[in-house]
Amino acid sequence: MKKYKRVLKFQIKDYWKIGEHENYFSDMAKKGFHLEKINALFMYFIKSKPQNMRYRITLAPLNEIEKAYNDKGWRYVSSYGRFSIFSSPEELHAPEMHHHQKNIYYINKALNKHCTFISILTALTILITGLYTFFLFFKNYAFLELLDGILENKIIVLIILLILTISTIRYYIYIRDLKSTFNMGFPINYGLNWKKRKAFSTVFFCSLSVLCIGFFGISFANQLSQESVGLLEKKNPIIVLNDLDEIPRNTSYLPEKNIYFSDSSLLLAKRYISVEKALIQDADNMYFPKIENRFYKVRFKLMSSILFNALLKYSNMEDESTYIASIEDENFDDLVILNKQIYKEVIAYKDDIVIYVKYLGTGTVKDVIEEVKENIEYY
């Protein structure tokens, strides 16, 4: 008994592109690969002699149309979902079956239902992608998220949403046109070029995949560049609580809440981030001083003012009752003090250095400014 070689190919998911599917199966048969069966994941082909074959796909229930197809020279091949596939050698000149009354009825019924579903799905994907894009880029501190390595991951999500949206829109247009074709009584176009669509889809999805990998790589590289900062050696621009408060020896620090690290990226020559909290208790009372530092040394001076404004918008967003005072000081290109109900905040920049300090403790704003000034002069 002769053994035939079986070849597997991934299933084409655009089920409703009937003409392209039929043309694809015919082209495979010309190369000697004859469709055997199809499921949700794979298409199974049998390697045999090349042959000119015609394939037709119908949505009518198999038990209602199989006999009619067989009588006209069409052989049932396989089914996937609601779609049934028939084949016939070209030399038989089997009559077309798409004009069969049951075919027309079931295709129109399925198309009407599917077109409504795709319309709703397309509207939802456009709405979700539009809202996500608006909140991602039209907020005033998007540049800050870019430098902090947060925006890359959000852009990856946006790319995925764009892929879904564009695919859904293209699919909707195809279903709409297919429905119009049937309503006007025109037959399915069997000569559609599946290779052109496949090439476009491959280039499109590969390009977006490269973008996703690129942004993921940048984010991963930023993570790898992070290193712990030693606070005992004053070789960094981090302002610690001990610089502003008199911290007793018996102070209890909260190590699980503290963060100290530095890193660099394509846009930042250096970045330092720290969050320090402590518990101070004496005979009379107990309080929790806290300080947060953000030190940025940008690669291009033009970025300093942009980052300064982004930090200002971000800080002011957290508390709209903030009192903002802009201070003129020759040591800074710009200096702003934000007095909130609890915290004192200072945002300043000079040349390519931008500093943000958020402080809660017994020290004064003047003390914080002096520390910021020293760091800018040193670095």
pLDDT in tens, 275-286: 888 777 766 677
Q: Which tokens belong to 41?
A: 């994941």
For the CA atoms of 69, 70, 72, 73, the dihedral, rounded to the nearest 10 degrees, stands at 120
| β-bridge partners, 280 | 287
Angle at 202 between CA 152 and CA 10, to 5 degrees: 110
What are the pLDDT digits (tens) for 132-171?
A: 888 777 766 666 766 676 666 777 788 888 888 888 888 8
Phi-psi group of 5: left, alpha or beta (phi > 0 → left; psi -120 to 50 → alpha; rest → beta): beta
Q: Is the pLDDT of residue 265 over 80?
A: no
Amino acid at 83: F
At which residue do the structure tokens 């999805």 appear?
205
Residue 256 has pLDDT above 50, yes or no: no
Stronger pLDDT, 123 or 20, i.e. the higher one: 123
pLDDT at 105 over 50: yes
Task: Give the pLDDT of residue 173.
Answer: 84
- Which has more confidence, 354 or 101? 354
**pLDDT of 230 above 60:** no
Contact between 15 and 83 under an 8 Å Cβ cutoff? The reply is yes
351 vs 12 pLDDT, higher one: 351
Indicate the fold that domain 227-378 takes in CATH. Protein Transport Mog1p; Chain A (3.40.1000)
335 has pLDDT over 70 = yes
User: How far is the C-alpha of 58 from the C-alpha of 70, rounded, in Å?
Assistant: 14
**pLDDT tens for each residue of 239-248:** 888 788 776 6
- What are the domain boundaries of the chain? 5-92, 101-225, 227-378
Q: List, in order, residues 6 or more apart from 312 with CB less than 8 Å away.
A: 324, 336, 347
> How do residues 195-220 score in pLDDT, each as one tens digit?
666 666 677 667 767 776 766 666 56
pLDDT of residue 326: 75
Residue 305: CB atoms within 10 Å: 13
pLDDT at 127: 92
Distance CA 115, CA 110 (A): 8
Residue 189: is it exposed, middle or buried by C-beta count within 10 angstroms (0-12/13-18/19+)?
middle
Residue 124's pLDDT is what? Answer: 92
Could you report the per-residue pLDDT of 113-132, keeping only the tens digit for each? 888 888 898 899 999 988 88
pLDDT of residue 286: 74
- Average pLDDT of the chain, as a whole number: 77
Is 102 exposed, middle or buried (CB count within 10 Å of its CB: 0-12, 13-18, 19+)?
middle
- Look at residue 189 in the predicted model and tell me its pLDDT: 62
Distances (CA, A) of 208 to 99, 156, 158, 201, 214: 41, 9, 11, 11, 10
Q: How far apart are CA 247 and CA 1, in angstroms?
A: 90
